[in-house]
Chain A
């Protein structure tokens, strides 16, 4: 088995999702190549070469790949895929964007969002927002797989793979990058955080999310939100945890003023410890919480910040 792992990065730094992908890939086979696609991403490639279990790093460094547009990336991966039995990418908005194109161009199926590798051809994935868990087997010649990184441990960083350049350049004339509005935050990213504190509709407005800031700072936590809070315009979409937002599994998840709709639970129920703070003691979030505190979040949050 030879597995091509698509590195998750922002041209500057390698994301821990990549280590988790490598760990997932190691359950399918032991010949693992990491592909870094970007522009001026040499540091990312060097970081990828250190991941334990990686035998080779390929770098496609070109302006055409600066924003990892699906059209260009897919054509590149399709050309490389012939040498591999599997292609793994994270089920992030990058992987979800280009991987189905790769699968279609190779005339094979894609297996999305796996949470477990049973064997080289058998994978486990949630369906129906995590209300059912399917085990699927693929007889395709190359397995195109996206991985829910939160479900896997990260491979360590004590390797020393060689780095090779790939000079294949694919440029679609039909698609171009216009602009990006990226959220800048000093806090950890949701997908990488050990602790997450999330607010729901009970926060009442965007300003009140500042009540979470002090607690997040003390715990080194990322701040998330329910879909209701995002739809109400309290906070931006990239903070959404849930079936259609980010899927997270931190050590500690603190849910504040959010009811626990199944779409939200789908995004966080694999957290190690869940704390719920809600004034409605019937809220479904309490059914999954290890520790529930019934009360008014506007009283509780300042007390919590002071107690930490």
Chain B
């Protein structure tokens, strides 16, 4: 079984982003970048399926400028077998990303595509579902458990009221939630080995996908800062303040 894992280069989750002074966008100059945490969970899940003998090959794919090869190398060091880099400097929406990924799906014919449920930069939570729609695949989003057997994948999903399990025929799309697994660290020998694994570089312009977006970013503002309030001395003062000052309890 072949697994395709699309990954995104995103701001490191420990970095607090700042808005540019002209409010045109956020400032990513000299900011530490990393593989999006949910994508890392997707890579880990693919590796675990390979370790269980269910998957035979793992391909990571990333879209963006040359720099995304850093994250591709991370994916390869974690255990992916080979990689595809779709190179473009364009800023893309989820729909264009999904269309580009569809070209990889059409060529590689994976049995399972595992993606992070959202990227921590754009917070869109769209790409996996869009890819599923475009390829006609069923989807299991926000997965906390994945089990593959007999041409099907059962996905336990984290939903607002609790958990839901769906059964999907393969090929299928799965998007990962936080509790699906805890990603491993790449070992030094695997990091060295990853340098020799093949990356197939394709220009996005050659894939016949319209890369223009109908969404225009008008401005980006810093959020209104909430001011810290006061410290109270004890429970009695707290309850008095909530009753008489904030008037949120009676």
Chain A interface residues (CB < 8 Å from chain B)? 10, 67, 69-71, 74, 92-94, 96-105, 107-113, 122, 126-140, 172-183, 191, 195, 219, 227, 230-231, 236-238, 243-244, 246, 251-252, 262, 269, 272-275, 281, 286-294, 300, 303-304, 307-308
Tell me, in angstroms, the Cα distance from A97 to B169 when the chains sit together: 18
Q: Measured between C-beta atoms, what is the minimum distance from A97 to chain B in Å?
A: 5
**A291 lies within 8 A of B215 (CB):** no
Asked whether any CB of chain A lies closer than 8 Å to the CB of B168, the reply is yes
Judged by a CB distance under 8 angstroms, whether B205 is at the interface is: no
Asked if B246 is at the interface of the complex by the 8 Å CB criterion, the answer is yes
- The smallest beta-carbon distance between A303 and chain B, in angstroms, is 4
Instruction: State in angstroms the CA–CA spacing of A158 and B220 once bound together.
Output: 38
Take A238-B162, A246-B160 as given contacts and tell me if A293 and B129 are in contact as well, using a CB distance cutoff of 8 Å.
no
Specify which of A139, A173, A290 is in contact with B246 (CB 8 Å cutoff).
A290
Chain A hits for B16, CB < 8 A: 131, 262
Binds A, one of B43-51, B82-90, B117-125, B185-193: B117-125
Instruction: Identify the closest chain B residue to A124 (Cβ).
Output: B221
Give the dominant DSSP class at B's interface: mixed
B132 at the interface (CB under 8 A from A): yes
Query: Which chain B residues lie closer than 8 Å to A10 at the CB level?
Result: 161
Q: Smallest distance from the beta carbon of B120 to chain A beta carbons, Å?
A: 6
CB contact between B235 and one of A99, A129, A304 (< 8 Å): that residue: A304
B134: A residues at CB distance < 8 A: 104-105
Instruction: List B residues at the A interface (Cβ < 8 Å).
Output: 11, 16-17, 19, 26, 93-95, 98, 117-118, 120-134, 137-139, 141-142, 144, 154, 157-169, 172, 177-179, 213-223, 226, 228-232, 234-236, 238-239, 241-242, 246, 248-249
Q: Out of A101, A182, A303, name the residue touching B129 (CB < 8 Å).
A: A101
Within 8 Å CB of B157, what residues of A? 93
Contact present for B124 and A71 (CB under 8 Å): no
Contact status B222-A237, CB under 8 Å: no
- Of chain B, the residue at the smallest CB distance from A8 is B160
B124 touches A112 (CB 8 A): yes
CB pair B168–A179 under 8 Å, yes or no, is: no
Of the residues B165, B166, B228, contact of A286 by C-beta under 8 Å: B228
Contact flag A227-B178 (CB < 8 Å), given A273-B248, A291-B242, A303-B235:
yes
Query: With A178-B166, A182-B162, A231-B179 given, is the CB distance from A134 to B139 under 8 Å?
Result: no
- List chain B residues, Cβ under 8 A from A101: 129-130, 132-133, 139
Q: Is the CB of B249 within 8 A of A308?
A: yes
**Bound: A187/B98 CA distance, A:** 40
> Which residues of chain B have C-beta atoms less than 8 A from A262's C-beta?
16
8 contacts between A and B (CB under 8 A): A104-B98, A109-B93, A134-B219, A175-B166, A183-B162, A195-B249, A287-B226, A288-B226
